[in-house]
Protein backbone atom coordinates (compact mmCIF):
# COMPACT_ATOMS: atom_id res chain seq x y z
CA UNK A 1 0.00 0.00 0.00
CA UNK A 2 0.94 3.60 0.05
CA UNK A 3 2.18 5.02 3.31
CA UNK A 4 -0.69 6.51 5.23
CA UNK A 5 -0.64 10.20 5.96
CA UNK A 6 -4.15 10.33 7.36
CA UNK A 7 -2.85 11.36 10.78
CA UNK A 8 -1.01 14.30 9.25
CA UNK A 9 -4.08 15.35 7.29
CA UNK A 10 -6.32 15.09 10.35
CA UNK A 11 -3.97 17.30 12.38
CA UNK A 12 -3.93 19.63 9.39
CA UNK A 13 -7.72 19.94 9.47
CA UNK A 14 -7.82 20.65 13.21
CA UNK A 15 -5.03 23.21 13.01
CA UNK A 16 -6.68 24.85 10.01
CA UNK A 17 -10.01 25.14 11.81
CA UNK A 18 -8.31 26.90 14.69
CA UNK A 19 -5.95 29.16 12.71
CA UNK A 20 -8.59 30.21 10.18
CA UNK A 21 -11.48 30.27 12.67
CA UNK A 22 -12.78 33.47 11.10
CA UNK A 23 -12.01 32.48 7.52
CA UNK A 24 -13.42 29.99 5.03
CA UNK A 25 -13.76 26.62 6.76
CA UNK A 26 -15.57 24.79 3.96
CA UNK A 27 -14.28 21.37 2.98
CA UNK A 28 -13.21 22.92 -0.32
CA UNK A 29 -11.03 25.54 1.38
CA UNK A 30 -9.45 22.96 3.69
CA UNK A 31 -8.89 20.61 0.77
CA UNK A 32 -7.05 23.39 -1.04
CA UNK A 33 -4.68 23.79 1.91
CA UNK A 34 -4.03 20.06 2.23
CA UNK A 35 -4.01 19.70 -1.55
CA UNK A 36 -6.36 16.80 -1.16
CA UNK A 37 -9.81 15.91 -2.35
CA UNK A 38 -12.76 17.74 -0.70
CA UNK A 39 -14.56 14.46 -0.36
CA UNK A 40 -11.63 12.95 1.51
CA UNK A 41 -11.60 15.97 3.80
CA UNK A 42 -15.29 15.54 4.51
CA UNK A 43 -14.76 11.88 5.31
CA UNK A 44 -12.03 12.81 7.75
CA UNK A 45 -14.10 15.63 9.23
CA UNK A 46 -16.87 13.13 9.83
CA UNK A 47 -14.47 10.81 11.66
CA UNK A 48 -13.16 13.65 13.82
CA UNK A 49 -16.71 14.71 14.67
CA UNK A 50 -17.62 11.16 15.70
CA UNK A 51 -14.49 11.03 17.87
CA UNK A 52 -15.61 14.15 19.70
CA UNK A 53 -12.75 16.36 18.57
CA UNK A 54 -14.65 18.54 16.11
CA UNK A 55 -18.16 19.97 15.82
CA UNK A 56 -20.00 20.52 12.56
CA UNK A 57 -23.48 21.04 11.16
CA UNK A 58 -24.82 19.38 8.03
CA UNK A 59 -25.41 21.77 5.16
CA UNK A 60 -23.69 24.65 6.94
CA UNK A 61 -20.12 25.83 7.16
CA UNK A 62 -19.94 25.72 10.94
CA UNK A 63 -16.76 23.94 11.92
CA UNK A 64 -15.09 24.46 15.29
CA UNK A 65 -12.97 22.44 17.68
CA UNK A 66 -14.98 20.47 20.22
CA UNK A 67 -12.29 21.07 22.85
CA UNK A 68 -9.60 23.65 23.49
CA UNK A 69 -6.44 22.86 21.51
CA UNK A 70 -4.50 22.26 24.72
CA UNK A 71 -6.99 19.51 25.57
CA UNK A 72 -6.53 17.63 22.28
CA UNK A 73 -3.45 15.44 22.12
CA UNK A 74 -1.80 13.96 19.06
CA UNK A 75 -2.76 10.60 20.53
CA UNK A 76 -6.44 11.61 20.54
CA UNK A 77 -6.20 12.32 16.83
CA UNK A 78 -4.22 9.13 16.18
CA UNK A 79 -6.77 6.94 17.97
CA UNK A 80 -9.63 8.71 16.21
CA UNK A 81 -8.25 8.49 12.72
CA UNK A 82 -6.07 5.41 12.53
CA UNK A 83 -8.75 3.14 13.90
CA UNK A 84 -6.32 1.90 16.56
CA UNK A 85 -4.01 0.48 13.95
CA UNK A 86 -0.64 -0.86 14.98
CA UNK A 87 2.67 0.60 13.91
CA UNK A 88 4.34 -2.81 13.71
CA UNK A 89 2.82 -6.00 12.38
CA UNK A 90 3.47 -9.67 13.03
CA UNK A 91 3.50 -12.15 10.18
CA UNK A 92 0.29 -14.03 10.87
CA UNK A 93 1.14 -16.90 8.57
CA UNK A 94 3.89 -18.95 10.23
CA UNK A 95 4.21 -22.70 10.63
CA UNK A 96 2.57 -23.72 13.92
CA UNK A 97 4.47 -27.01 13.94
CA UNK A 98 7.82 -25.24 14.24
CA UNK A 99 9.04 -24.14 17.68
CA UNK A 100 9.79 -20.68 16.32
CA UNK A 101 6.87 -20.37 13.92
CA UNK A 102 4.44 -21.69 16.50
CA UNK A 103 5.29 -19.19 19.21
CA UNK A 104 6.88 -16.12 17.69
CA UNK A 105 3.55 -14.45 16.92
CA UNK A 106 2.63 -14.29 20.60
CA UNK A 107 6.12 -13.19 21.55
CA UNK A 108 6.26 -10.40 19.00
CA UNK A 109 2.71 -9.25 19.72
CA UNK A 110 3.76 -8.63 23.31
CA UNK A 111 6.90 -6.76 22.31
CA UNK A 112 5.19 -4.74 19.61
CA UNK A 113 2.57 -3.72 22.16
CA UNK A 114 5.36 -2.30 24.32
CA UNK A 115 6.76 -0.35 21.38
CA UNK A 116 3.28 0.87 20.55
CA UNK A 117 2.79 2.02 24.16
CA UNK A 118 6.06 3.95 24.08
CA UNK A 119 5.06 5.67 20.84
CA UNK A 120 1.56 6.45 22.09
CA UNK A 121 2.89 7.81 25.38
CA UNK A 122 4.99 10.27 23.39
CA UNK A 123 1.99 11.20 21.24
CA UNK A 124 -0.05 11.80 24.39
CA UNK A 125 2.52 14.41 25.44
CA UNK A 126 2.00 16.54 22.35
CA UNK A 127 -1.04 18.81 22.28
CA UNK A 128 -2.70 20.45 19.31
CA UNK A 129 -1.85 23.74 21.03
CA UNK A 130 1.88 23.00 20.74
CA UNK A 131 1.48 21.97 17.11
CA UNK A 132 -0.39 25.17 16.23
CA UNK A 133 2.12 27.29 18.14
CA UNK A 134 4.98 25.67 16.25
CA UNK A 135 3.24 26.27 12.93
CA UNK A 136 2.72 29.94 13.79
CA UNK A 137 6.31 30.31 15.02
CA UNK A 138 7.61 28.85 11.79
CA UNK A 139 5.38 31.21 9.82
CA UNK A 140 6.61 34.23 11.80
CA UNK A 141 10.21 33.27 11.10
CA UNK A 142 9.75 33.25 7.34
Partner DNA sequence: CCAACTTGTAACTATATTAATAACTTGTTG
Partner DNA sequence: CAACAAGTTATTAATATAGTTACAAGTTGG
By CB under 8 A, tell whether 108 contacts a copy of itself.
yes
By CB under 8 A, tell whether 4 contacts a copy of itself.
yes
Secondary structure in 3-state letters for the chain = CCCCCHHHHHHHHHHHHHHCCCCCCCHHHHHHHHCCCHHHHHHHHHHHHHCCCEEEECCEEEEEECCCHHHCEHHHHHHHHCCCCCCCCCCCCCCCCCCCCCCHHHHHHHHHHHHHHHHHHHHHCCEHHHHHHHHHHHHHCC
Task: Tell me how far apart the alpha carbons of residues 81 and 41 are, in angstroms, rounded to a whole number.
Answer: 12
Smaller CB distance to DNA: residue 21 or 136? 21
Q: Which does 20 bind (CB under 5 to 8 A by kind): a copy of itself, DNA, none?
A: a copy of itself
By CB under 8 A, tell whether 5 contacts a copy of itself.
yes
Q: Which stretch binds a copy of itself (CB under 8 A): 38-46, 53-61, 63-71, 92-100?
A: 92-100
Smaller CB distance to DNA: residue 50 or 122? 50
Residues of the shown chain interacting with a copy of itself in the complex, contacts defined by CB under 8 A: 1-5, 7-9, 11-12, 15-16, 19-20, 32-36, 74, 84, 87-95, 98-104, 106-108, 110-111, 114-119, 121-123, 126, 131, 134-136, 138-139, 142
Amino acid sequence: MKFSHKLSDAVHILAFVYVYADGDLSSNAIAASIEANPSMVRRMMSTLVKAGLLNSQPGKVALHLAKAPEDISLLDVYLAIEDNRNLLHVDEKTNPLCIVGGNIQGTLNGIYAQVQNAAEAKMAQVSLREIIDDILTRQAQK
